[in-house]
Every structure is written in structure tokens, then in C-alpha cells.
Amino acid sequence: MKSAFVAAALCVSAPALAADPPPVWVGGFLVTDATGPSCEQSSIQVNEMYTLVFHPKLTGDTTVATDVFQILTYQKAFQFIPKGGTRFQASGSYGAATWNARAIVKKFAGTYSGLTITPAPAANRKFLNIAGKFNKVDGQNCAVTFAAAVTLKD
């Protein structure tokens, strides 16, 4: 009987769980074209499959300030954030950073175009298809066209 009271007291006094984390989609990022002499220096190659982590800014969500694309390659990682707004549009400018296995961080900026995200991100969407083109990747003369398929992470 005494243990039942202790268990009940522990349940009543347990701290409330934090709110659910914002949704994130993870999946494959296929490079369909990479043009420019510096693409190879940036470790980006056509027909390579990388990992895409997509954190969208959803309507009404106050926990995420802006859309974020994180692309993980074999030798480095990239993070792209739209400039001048909270969401990626069909085209625009981005601010970005890259870091490598030596923890060297480099910031750069460029433009993007032809970006499509279908269907529109929503907390209940299990799958998204994303395609587009990032120019000046790694701050270099490298334009990367891609197609991605991502799944909502539970």
C-alpha cells in the first residue's frame, strides 16, 4: 500500500513534458547537375546521393525562425537559409555556411532558382519532394541542380 502512494506521488510531481519539437524531414538529395570548375573542389558530383535535412518554417510555428536546408555530403556539410524572408520561394537569395571534418566553417551567399516543394510542408505531411538549383555553392563558381525526396521524422 505504501508503494502505491509513493508511485502516485511520483506521477503527480513529475515535470510536464516539453512541447513537441518542430517537424523535420530527412531524406535523399540527388545532384542531377553540377556546373562550374569549383564543384569538384566542393566535393559535389553529379549522380551523388547526399542526405538532406529540411526544417521548414510552418505557418503559426514560433519555434523555427526560418526555413533551413542542411545537406550532408561525405566530406562536409552545408546549411542554406533564405535571405529576406522566412520561407524559400521559387527563386531568391540565400545565406549559407559550410563546415568540414576539420571543423573549418566558411560562410557564403548566393542565389537559388526553380525551387519547388510539393506538397507544401505541413506538420501532417509524411513525404515531400523538393527540387531546384543553388548557385555559387560554397561561395565558388558551382551551380548545383538537385532533386530530393524527404520523409517526416518521427
pLDDT tier for residue 18 given thresholds of 50, 70 and 90: low
The answer to whether residue 145 is domain-embedded is: yes
59 in the Ramachandran plot: left (φ > 0), alpha (ψ -120 to 50) or beta? beta
pTM: 0.83
Give residue 38's Cα distance to chain centre: 23
pLDDT averaged over every residue in the chain: 86
Within a domain: residue 8?
no
DSSP 8-state secondary structure symbol assigned to residue 6:
H
Distance in angstroms (rounded) separating the CA atoms of residues 65 and 140: 27
In a domain, 15, yes or no: no
What is the reported pLDDT for 75?
82
Q: Which of the pair, 109 or 15, is modelled with greater confidence?
A: 109
Does an H or E element contain 92, and which?
A: strand 92-100
Q: Rounded distance, CA 106 to CA 69, Å?
A: 16
Number of structural domains the chain divides into = 1
| Block residue for cell numbers 502505491 | 4
Domain that holds residue 133: 22-152
Q: What is the pLDDT of residues 82-125, one digit of tens each?
A: 998 789 999 999 999 999 888 889 999 999 999 999 999 988 89
